[in-house]
Amino acid sequence: MSSKIDKGLSVKDIDKSFGEVKALVNVSLDVHEGEFFTLLGPSGCGKTTLLRIIAGLELRDTGRVILGGQDITDLPATKRQVNTVFQSYALFPHLNIFENVAFGLRSRKFPQNEVEGRVNRRMEMLELQEMADRYPHQLSGGQQQRVALARALVNEPDVLLLDEPMSALDAKLRAQVQVELRRLQRKLGQTFILVTHDQAEALVVSDRIAVMDQGKIIQFGTPKEVYEQPKTLFVAEFLGAANLLHGRGLDGGIQTELGFFHLKQTPKWDNGTVAIRPERIRITDNPPEKNAVKAKVREAIYRGTNIDLWLEPGPMRVRTPAHRNYELGDEVWLELPPEGLVILDE
């Protein structure tokens, strides 16, 4: 890509209601060219609606969509340099795989030799060349997904939209496809926007994540930022297990039922919550100097690479390397280091 214009996508102040239901409330975001951007949220949070508005398949109530500096808000889907991989794949059941992939080129009347060249190149890239003459129902789920991907990518869209493309795959294949998708996006250098409710998937593939809830974007950030520095209770809990401590905000710490805990900053609220991930809690035999909790093992779940412990008081969840055995009823000291404790907004 040698063009100097930024092919990034901006969404500005989008509102969308279905009758009384507000699907999107004043949503704005910027996706940079070549970025793998993920909209993450529970079902019904508006992420698919936002994707459909970007694709031109849904009308917004207010707001604008800008692609590569051009306002595309009022362009129909057929005029946007944006292509979609649908959740159901939506392959054409009456066309063979070659014609499925070629559809976007044929509908724009590309000459036959160019259609063949481009389709064959994409099919090779996604290891579909053997499938050219087959029909969608003769393919496995994973193969169908690759056809859907090839069918969209053959058009070299400015932005590729992916609507929960892994939801129909089994867990093992999904993990593999996530890595392949990430690798493909890096290789092509194209802008991808993925919609998913699977936090693990979002962490694996994304450059940046927008966490959504009830039609609003709650937090933007890299996977590391949203996982380790969640802004709200919702983000902390949606992106994995979190231990929560409620209490009074004091100078440089928080006073809770379990005692005083030092924090890196002074909380801005009087009463509130701090969170810590299970793997950030340290287990020690001797009482630590500060931020200590004495706890009893209630449940120990062996997971191969590590052990998940449920402890009283709390229940508190701790993830620790599996090189030591824990028996139920064991008494241990926990250290909740200040750099692991995240102050959540009210």
Site of interaction with other proteins (CB under 8 A): 55-57, 76-79, 82-84, 86, 88, 90-94, 103-104, 106-108, 151-152, 155
The minimum distance between CB 77 and other proteins, in angstroms, equals 5
Using alpha carbons, select from 317, 227, 189 the residue that is nearest to residue 40. 227
State how far the Cα of 123 lies from the Cα of 132, in Å rounded to an integer: 8
* 151 token code pair: 């069918």
Cβ-based nearer residue to other proteins, 86 or 310: 86
Tell me which residue of 221, 264, 215, 269 sits closest to 49, measured CA to CA: 215
- For the CB of residue 317, give the shortest distance to other proteins in the complex, in Å: 40
CB of 128 to other proteins, least distance (A): 17
The token pair at 337 is: 């280091």
Distance of closest approach, residue 107 Cβ to other proteins, in angstroms: 4
The neighbouring-strand residues paired with 15 are: 62
Q: 126 or 283, CB closer to other proteins?
A: 126
DSSP element (H, E) containing 249: strand 243-250
The least distance separating other proteins from the CB of residue 48, rounded to whole angstroms, comes to: 12
CA distance 120 to 114: 10
Q: Counting Cβ atoms within 10 Å, is residue 216 exposed (0-12), middle (13-18) or buried (19+)?
A: middle
Q: Cβ 189 to other proteins, closest distance in Å?
A: 22
- In the complex with other proteins, the residue whose CB is nearer, 79 or 294, is 79
User: How far is CA 313 from each of CA 7, 173, 243, 256, 332, rounded to the nearest angstrom?
Assistant: 52, 39, 11, 12, 12
Q: Are 100 and 134 in contact (CB under 8 A)?
A: no
Between 169 and 307, whose beta carbon lies closer to other proteins?
Answer: 169
Nearer to other proteins, 133 or 237 (CB): 133
Q: How many CB atoms sit inside 10 A of residue 25's CB?
A: 15
Q: Which is nearer to other proteins, 51 or 226 (CB)?
A: 51
Q: Are 193 and 47 in contact (CB under 8 A)?
A: no
Nearer to other proteins, 77 or 301 (CB): 77
* DSSP label of 214: T
Shortest distance, CB of residue 241 to other proteins, whole angstroms?
35
